Structure 1
Amino acid sequence: MDRAYIGLIENGKSAASIITLVKLAIALECEVGDLFPYIEDLRPYAGWLDE
């Protein structure tokens, strides 16, 4: 994977495909789910969920 592409993903300028997430998890020796924050940490950014 190109470092520039990884940078775009990290900065939210590009979305990673599922295959890319799997490749990243393998490279980092973690689970794909470990690449995402907990739902409770996202709640402040999703005000519409409380309605």
Structure 2
Amino acid sequence: MFSPFSIAGCSLKLLRTGERGIVTFCKSQDKTIFKKLISKGVTPGSSITLEQKFP
């Protein structure tokens, strides 16, 4: 049997489709992208589930 585990400090790139994570920080040089993330509720402390990954 597998026991649950967690990875601290990983990148969004490491999530696979269907996996969940908690946003700890948002870092973007582009303020437009940063504002879009905030408007979609992607803020530190929020829980997210990766629904789709594009290449």
Do the structures match in fold with TM over 0.5?
A: no
User: As a proportion of its length, which structure holds more strand?
Assistant: 2
Q: Select the structure with the greater relative contact order (CA < 8 A; seq sep ≥ 6).
A: 2
- Shorter-chain-normalised TM-score: which range? under 0.3
**Higher share in helix:** 1
| TM-score scaled by length of structure 2 | 0.25
